[in-house]
Amino acid sequence: MGKIDRYSGNMKAFAAEALSTERTIFGDTAQSDTLDDNITTAFLRGWEIVGVNENPTKQDFNGLAFTLGQLISYLHQRGIAEWNAAQEYYEGSVVTTLVGIYRLTSGGVGSSDPDTDDGDNWDRVGISDVDWELIPTQAEVDAKADQDTTYTETEVDGLLDTKADQATTYTETEVNNLLNAKADQDTTYTKTAVDGLLDDLSGLGVGQTWHDVTTSRAKDVTYTNSSGKAIFISVTDTDGEGSTIGFTLFVDGSIIAKTLSYIGSVSGYPRSNLTAIIPNGSTYKVVLHALDTIHLWSELR
């Protein structure tokens, strides 16, 4: 069936403009324009008001059609019927009050007044254990959409897909706890920052291997640990003048280790060694004593 065009005028019930006694309450001689008066026991029983050898009156036909038409006219006026305690409601039923529009939840009690139950039986859509859900207004929806940070469905899917490939995984409960805790903080983090924190917590040596970087390292040169995790370095130097041997290790511009030994006249190539943990993002530099040279530089990364 195709779309039915709405009647362009003010929808009235059949026989709404009947004159004098042209229309009566169904099965009665009284007259009334209200639905409460017209929906009577006789109306609910139907044509049993007419005897076997009798004919229905014009007034009864008008009364029947008026009552049914008045119900249609009411819905044209209201759009959604008002809540009434005597009405039977089922899961998903929608009603209206002066407060707003409500939907009956699963297991809700329809006879419970949406407006006057002290908040025990209704709340906003999405809150469980209520009878009636109050559907939010457009203004409330618009206000929620105007938050500082919003994401499209594509962006959210991308974040989830990326995180799914990380070494660290979380249960739904852990994620909920993290989100709840974060909601109360003043400081916010980007996804990159969070991933960096998580990776740093994974433990030194986890997923790392030793690398001989002697040929790519030089004394008095500042390097930066940009690996994304803390690394461990081991540097061995060789004496170049036969009297003293030693070197200094700087991390983020501060001296954290130093060796300096007087060896006198010793044949061969005496050596000394220093080791250190370099935090992610920190700079580090090795300064050798006098003519000493790097013998071996290894990094666990």
Q: Of the candidates 228, 173, 171, which has an alpha carbon nearest to the alpha carbon of residue 195? A: 228
Same domain membership, residue 260 and residue 233: yes
Residues 67 and 49 in one domain: yes
- The pLDDT of residue 264 is above 60: no
Establish if 5 belongs to a structural domain.
Answer: no
Tens digit of pLDDT for each residue in 211-223? 999 999 998 999 9
Residue 98 within a domain? yes
**Residues 12-33 pLDDT 10s:** 999 999 988 899 999 999 999 9
The CATH number assigned to the domain holding 269 equals 2.60.120.40
Q: Which residues pair with 249 in a beta bridge?
A: 257, 286
Residue 273 resides in a domain: yes
Q: Where does the pLDDT of residue 128 fall: very low under 50, low under 70, confident under 90, or very high at 90 and above?
A: very low
Largest CA distance in the chain: 141
pLDDT of residue 83: 94
Fill in the amino acid letter for 228.
G
Residues 294, 235 share a domain: yes
**Domain of 188, in residue numbers:** 153-200
DSSP for 213-234, please give it: -GGG--TT--EE--SSS-EEEE
In a domain, 25, yes or no: yes
Percent of the chain predicted with pLDDT > 90:
44
Q: Please tell me the total count of domains within the chain.
A: 4
Is 7 within a domain?
Answer: no
Do 177 and 232 sit in the same domain of this protein? no
- 223, 295: one domain: yes
Answer whether residue 130 is part of any domain: yes
The pLDDT value given to residue 125 = 45
Q: Looking at the structure, do residues 186 and 226 belong to the same domain, yes or no?
A: no
Sign of the CA dihedral running 145, 146, 152, 155: negative
Q: Quick one: three-class SS letters along 115-129? A: CCCCCCCEEECCCCC
Say whether pLDDT at 48 is over 70.
yes
| pLDDT value of position 117 | 58
* CA neighbor of 294 nearest in space, from 214, 210, 211, 213: 214
Examine the domain organization and report whether 159 and 194 are in the same domain.
Answer: yes
Tokens representing 56 are 């229905």
Q: Does residue 119 have a pLDDT over 70?
A: no
- Same domain for 266 and 296? yes
Contacts of 190 (CB under 8 A, 6+ apart): none
Q: Where does residue 233 rank: exposed (0-12), middle (13-18), buried (19+ CB within 10 A)?
A: buried
Q: Which stretch of 34-43, 92-101, 130-139, 259-268 has the lowest confidence by average pLDDT?
A: 259-268
Question: Is the domain of 62 the same as that of 98?
Answer: no
Residue 13 lies in a domain: no
Both 72 and 98 in one domain: the answer is no
pLDDT bin (cut points 50, 70, 90) of residue 52 is confident
Q: Does a structural domain hold residue 2?
A: no
Residue-level pLDDT at 269: 59
What pLDDT is stored for residue 126 in this prediction? 44
pLDDT tops 50 at residue 127: no
Higher pLDDT, 109 or 266: 109
pLDDT at 121 (0 to 100): 45
Using pLDDT thresholds of 50, 70 and 90, give the confidence band for residue 160: confident
Angstrom CA distances, 172 to 158, 169, 175, 179, stand at 18, 10, 5, 11
- More confident of the two residues 258 and 103: 103
pLDDT score, position 124: 45
Q: What is the rounded average pLDDT of the residues 271-282?
A: 88
